[in-house]
Amino acid sequence: MRNFKPIYYILICSFTFLLLSSCTDEKPIAINPAIIPAPASQQIYEGVFEMSNSTGIVSTDAAFTQIAGFLKSYVTYGSSIELKSEDYNNVIIFKKDASITNLEGYQLKITTERIEILASSSKGAFYAVQSLRQLLPTSFENGSYKNDTVSIQNLEIKDAPQFTYRGMHLDVGRHFFPVDFIKKYIDLMGMLKMNTFHWHLTEDQGWRIEIKKYPKLQEVAAYRNETLIGHYSDQPHKFDGKKYGGFYTQEQIKDIVKYASDRQIDVIPEIEMPGHAQAAISAYPELGCTGKPIDVATKWGVFEDIYCPKEATFKFLEDVIDEVIALFPGKYIHIGGDEAPKTRWKNCAHCQSLIKKENLKDEYGLQSYFIKRMEKYINSKGKKIIGWDEILEGGLAPNATVMSWRGTEGAVIAAKQQHDVILTPGSHCYFDHYQSTKEDEPLAIGGFLPLEKVYNFNPIPKELTKEESKFVLGAQGNVWTEYMKDSKQVEYMAFPRMMALSEVVWSKTENKNYEDFKNRLEVYQHRLDARNVNYANHLYEVLGKSEIKNGSLFMNLKTSSNTKTIRYTLDGTAPNSNSAIYKKSLEIDKSLTINAAAFDDRKQVSAIFKETVKMHKAVGKKISFNVLPSEKYNAGGNSALINGISGSDKRYGDDQWSGFDGKDVEITIDLRKEMNINSIQTRFNNQKGSWIYAPSQVLVTFPGNEEFLPIKLEESDDKIVDLKLETKIFTRFVKLKLVNFGIIPDGRQGAGHKPWIFIDEIIIE
């Protein structure tokens, strides 16, 4: 018997698992179960439990009857083995154990004679079954296991989650998904011990929940006339001309909620207010400030038509909430509260009168009034509200839980006010962001969120004390579907990042190990294959990271799997089985293109990594800033702008772009000695839909020289804005001042805020 943290034994005798080839009837040796998320404590024993038609399944407490039935159905579906509802010597037994104080905790004991599942609630029992499920061959997942018996490794697990809120979100407003897929999504969550499904049901682009008192929500608000083609930042906008939509009936919703409950998952409905309401206003124009007819939105973004805080609007929303509460038995209702432009309110006589009547400071105070009023009503129905972190603006509602998405600042503010918080920052939890640097990745909204970054997320902000951190309930992965037209694309974006997040919110920090997680993920992917999940597989993908040491440029290559060999070329040709093997950092002293791929023996098992390096006079020199790039968008470090490598044309969150939040930026490059400069070239990201704007002007100076070159940049709709300055000067220092665009105008995404500046390589020649 051995206790292992993340270091496990290796399976030698293969008949225990279908993943491995069969062997003789030798006694099996203790194995690594490869469970995701990693259990708190795991001990391996010699021997196996053999499950067969002679195996019984028994529940000693009525609370576990449904869970025992779930296990029996799973085994029966997955194989020809049929568990008996009688107590045999060879038995799976569920026992209630009040000493397990965490209601989601469990113990799983497997010996040669029996499997014991101990828990103090049905939740713990269900999670024990999910761990047991991962000890069975993957063919159980699709009903293809053919043998009459299956051997399960003897072991003991003692386990409980780190956080009480372990969530996954799905936006069905931008794109609508069938009931069967919603159930599949919930199933996959349950396997990973996630316990909350955040169902984003209303949006500008579609209302997806049947409300019987307001039939136009189904007839009008659930359908848009057409849908944007391509990316929001592409100009001019193009549309497909096809009517699109759908909604879930109340009977379908009841069925889904019951299905989730059977898997110990609470469903939290989101009914957006006061913003993201254009679809509802299209059905009932009197809910808006103008009263004028509008259409359901056909493109993505933020829209000015939001709910007007009139009595008729509150009556509508209260009626909606009444029907929603009847469908969702959980304690939370999510009311959104994000991205609500105040343009209509500023120009609305009723809104301005209400601000004066209620002695509110401004329109932000009016939003707080709106949220607090709806919270009071929802509280009166025995429910609590969750809102995005914008609900902090103007004053937080008394009993609200804050879902922090614009970084972690909202969570810190709320927790310090002793409000519950859920972490879901875009930097680590937005699964609509790109997950690979490959140029052929499917179109996404932007950003870059690789698997490792998700795995390394810590939901406890460092600014919180131990006492304040108790208000952090957990974390959630968000799946916004502007660029996910079907369920296969949702799967591709959500998996395997959901697996990484499941370990973030379940497993103890000391049990987390990314290298070990990758090994377990390789095993888990076979289970996803059996479930026909279209997951993204970047495990073998070669990644490159530039590094400047002592003024010289190096390229470091790695692949997520330590069992693969990296082969590379430096002449622009594709690597093959005879190419050089990567063994150490590559020193780069001239312009070239690196191509690399992972090989298993002589077979290529990854896509080709390609990086072009352009040597210029600033590469490897010294760079300084008046304000540092944001931690969220500084993956390449402060030397990213002088490493000879340009950023992606598609995404701004890779290793090469540097992002600055709402500030003027001064960048000084020290060339270490005076030299002739003929040109200075760079470029700026300009994806306005993501609150990113090119600077309004760039001031170029040469400290120690009097020459001063202001360059005004005209506002453009191009996604990339290039800047090239021709000059002839002999200098050591080059300084660029980037002047922020200023406040984003009303009617645009991020209105009222200063945008980001994203700058790429600064090329000096």
Is residue 199 helix, strand or coil? Answer: strand
Burial of residue 565 (number of CB atoms within 10 Å: 0-12, 13-18, 19+): middle
- Range from 60-64, 129-133, 447-451, 560-564 that averages highest in pLDDT: 129-133
Mean pLDDT across 718-733: 92
Q: Which of 670, 645, 671 is nearest to 657 (CA)?
A: 645
Inter-residue contact 269 to 327 (CB < 8 Å): yes
Is residue 227 helix, strand or coil? Answer: coil
Domains annotated for the chain, with CATH where assigned, are 2-159 (3.30.379.10), 165-507 (3.20.20.80), 542-612 (2.60.40), 622-764 (2.60.120.260)
| Cis amide leading into 236 (omega within 30) | yes
Q: What is the pLDDT of residue 87?
A: 62
Inter-residue contact 103 to 121 (CB < 8 Å): yes
Inter-residue contact 591 to 579 (CB < 8 Å): no
Give the lowest-confidence range in 294-298, 341-345, 430-434, 746-750: 746-750
Mean pLDDT across 267-274: 98
Backbone angles phi, psi at 669, to 5 degrees: -110, 125
- Calpha distance 346→97 (Å, rounded): 59
Mean pLDDT across 390-409: 89
pLDDT band, very low/low/confident/very high, at 31 (cuts 50, 70, 90): very low
Residues whose CB falls within 8 Å of the CB of residue 4, separated by 6 or more in sequence, listed in order: 42, 43, 44
What 8-state DSSP symbol labels residue 672? E
Q: Is the model more confident about 297 or about 511? A: 297
Q: Distances from the Cα of 144 to the Cαs of 101, 127, 141, in angstroms?
A: 38, 24, 8
Inter-residue contact 568 to 596 (CB < 8 Å): yes
Q: What is the pLDDT of residue 16?
A: 35
Mean pLDDT across 499-519: 94
The length of the chain, given as a count of residues: 765
Backbone angles phi, psi at 553, to 5 degrees: -100, 130
pLDDT band, very low/low/confident/very high, at 540 (cuts 50, 70, 90): confident
- Calpha distance 3→7 (Å, rounded): 9
Q: Which residues pair with 697 in a beta bridge?
A: 712, 739
pLDDT tens digits, 177-207: 999 999 999 999 999 999 999 999 999 999 9
Mean pLDDT across 60-69: 94
Residues whose CB falls within 8 Å of the CB of residue 465, separated by 6 or more in sequence, listed in order: none
Inter-residue contact 455 to 419 (CB < 8 Å): no
pLDDT band, very low/low/confident/very high, at 163 (cuts 50, 70, 90): very high
- Calpha distance 496→390 (Å, rounded): 30
pLDDT band, very low/low/confident/very high, at 631 (cuts 50, 70, 90): confident
* Mean predicted lDDT score pLDDT of the chain: 91
Exposure string (b/e) for 525-534, b if CB count within 10 Å is 16 or more?
bbbbebbebb
pLDDT band, very low/low/confident/very high, at 757 (cuts 50, 70, 90): very high
CB-CB neighbours of 335 under 10 Å: 26
pLDDT tens digits, 565-582: 999 999 989 999 999 999
Q: What is the pLDDT of residue 689?
A: 80
- Calpha distance 239→225 (Å, rounded): 10
Q: What is the pLDDT of residue 25?
A: 42
Mean pLDDT across 229-249: 93
Backbone angles phi, psi at 739, to 5 degrees: -90, 120
Q: Distances from the Cα of 518 to the Cαs of 16, 121, 157, 403, 604, in angstroms?
A: 22, 31, 21, 29, 19
- For residue 6, pLDDT beyond 80: no
- Calpha distance 357→754 (Å, rounded): 31
pLDDT band, very low/low/confident/very high, at 238 (cuts 50, 70, 90): very high
pLDDT tens digits, 91-123: 999 999 999 999 999 999 999 999 999 999 999
Q: What is the pLDDT of residue 505?
A: 98
| Cis amide leading into 37 (omega within 30) | yes
**% of the chain residues with pLDDT over 90:** 80
Tell me how many degrees the CA angle 468-470-475 measures, rounded to the nearest 5: 110
Mean pLDDT across 171-176: 98
pLDDT band, very low/low/confident/very high, at 88 (cuts 50, 70, 90): low
Mean pLDDT across 608-621: 94
**% of the chain residues with pLDDT over 70:** 95
Q: What is the pLDDT of residue 26?
A: 41
Rama region for 759: left / alpha / beta (φ>0; ψ in -120 to 50; rest): beta
Mean pLDDT across 220-233: 95
Q: Distances from the Cα of 163 to the Cαs of 28, 423, 460, 509, 544, in angstroms?
A: 36, 11, 10, 11, 34
